Structure 1
Amino acid sequence: MDIRALTDAYAVSPQITPDDIPEIAAAGFGTIICNRPDEEIVPGLRAADIRAAALEAGLKFLEIPLSQSENFVRDVARQREALETAEGPVLAYCASGTRSTIVWMFGAAKSVPIGDLLETANRAGYPLAALRPQLEAAAQL
């Protein structure tokens, strides 16, 4: 498992498995957010499988699947709200952690300097400088 902290309260990861849940709970996470659509995943790793293991471990589990869609603004708002109401630190996952990083960046664009967001993502292994114009536009909305 490859957990990458973006803040003290938010970390991202590539796809997790039900077997990873005890380690996630032991690391102090209270909430898991699945940002990966089920149609990308083989049975056994779908949201319902991860949810069952998370709930059994006493963790909160949310699904906010992210894909190339016109619903991105809504998804950013849903992710931001989930972070604001999370129980304990949040681990969000997708295929590589990139989408979970991007949705966090857009959700924080109004309150965190864009340069800081890009630097944080880059330190975590997600070089997303090409998103600067879109993040700057989002910060103005």
Structure 2
Amino acid sequence: MKITPVDEKLSVAHQPSEAEIAALGANGVALLINNRPDGEEAGQPGTQAEAAAAKAAGLAYLHIPVTGPSLSRADVDGFREAVLAAPGPVVAHCRSGTRSLTLWAIGEVLAGNLGREEVLDYGARLGIDLSGAARWLDAHAGEPA
């Protein structure tokens, strides 16, 4: 599993195996967020298996499944609130880390911590394409908070 640090609290990752989830707990991670819908791809562990592995590793677990077309303001807010409330490091994952970073980036723009014009460059520095986040922000510009 590739893990990409985003800030001092959040990292995003590719799909972890159950053994990799156990290692997260041993490395001090407090919360694992799964941003994948169940059944998205053959061979992914799925929510029940991940939740059980997280519990066994002493991790809190949250499932916020999103796809590009289904991503909502409620998803962004729930993700941001969970990261901020976590008592320690958070690893959020999807298939590649892109959706997880997209949720974070949109939340940071909406909170005023990141400018819309900074999104693509921020993603590029981390090696993740945030064009989906930019499109979401453009499509939802002017909506009430």
Same fold (TM over 0.5): yes
- C-alpha separation in 2, matches of 1:20 and 1:70: 28
Letter of the 1:31 counterpart: L
How far is 1:101 from its partner? 0.7
**CA separation of 1:139/1:12 partners in 2, compared to 1, >3 Å: closer, same or farther?**
farther
Number of the residue aligned with 1:135 = 137
Q: Which residue of structure 1 aligns with residue 113 of structure 2? A: 112
Q: SS state of the match for residue 33, structure 1?
A: strand
Query: Once the 2 structures are TM-superposed, how far is the Cα of residue 118 of structure 1 from its aligned partner?
Result: 3.5
CA contact (8 A) 2:106 2:133 kept: no
Indicate the SS of the match to 2:39: helix
Identify the residue that residue 11 of structure 1 maps to in structure 2.
Answer: 11
Unaligned 5+ segments in structure 2 are none
Secondary structure of the structure 1 residue equivalent to 2:96 = coil
TM normalised by structure 1 equals 0.85
Post-superposition offset of 1:86: 1.2
Question: 2-side partners of 1:8 and 1:95: how far apart?
Answer: 22
Q: Within the alignment, does 1:121 sit opposite 2:107 as a pair?
A: no
> Among the aligned pairs, what percent are the same residue?
33
TM (normalized to structure 2)?
0.83
Equivalents in 1 of 2:119, 2:62: separation in Å? 24
Residues 16-95 of structure 1 aligned to structure 2 (within 5 Å)? 16-42=16-42, 45-70=45-70, 72-95=72-95
Contact 1:9 1:89 in 2 (8 A): yes
| Alpha-carbon distance in structure 2 between the residues aligned to 1:30 and 1:118 | 29
- Tell me whether 56-65 or 84-93 shows the greater mean CA deviation: 84-93
CA distance in 2, matches of 1:90, 1:132: 23
CA separation in 1, counterparts of 2:21 and 2:88? 15
Which stretches in structure 1 are left out of the alignment for 5+ residues?
none
Which digits, 9 at most, give the CA deviation of each residue in 1:81-101, with x for residues without a partner? 111211311100001111001
> Shift of the alpha carbon at 1:124?
1.6
Q: CA RMSD in A?
A: 2.4
Is the partner of 1:118 in helix, strand or coil?
Answer: helix
> 1:50 deviation in Å?
1.0
In the alignment of these two chains, the number of paired residues is 141
User: Are the counterparts in 1 of residues 102 and 132 from structure 2 also a CA contact under 8 Å?
Assistant: no
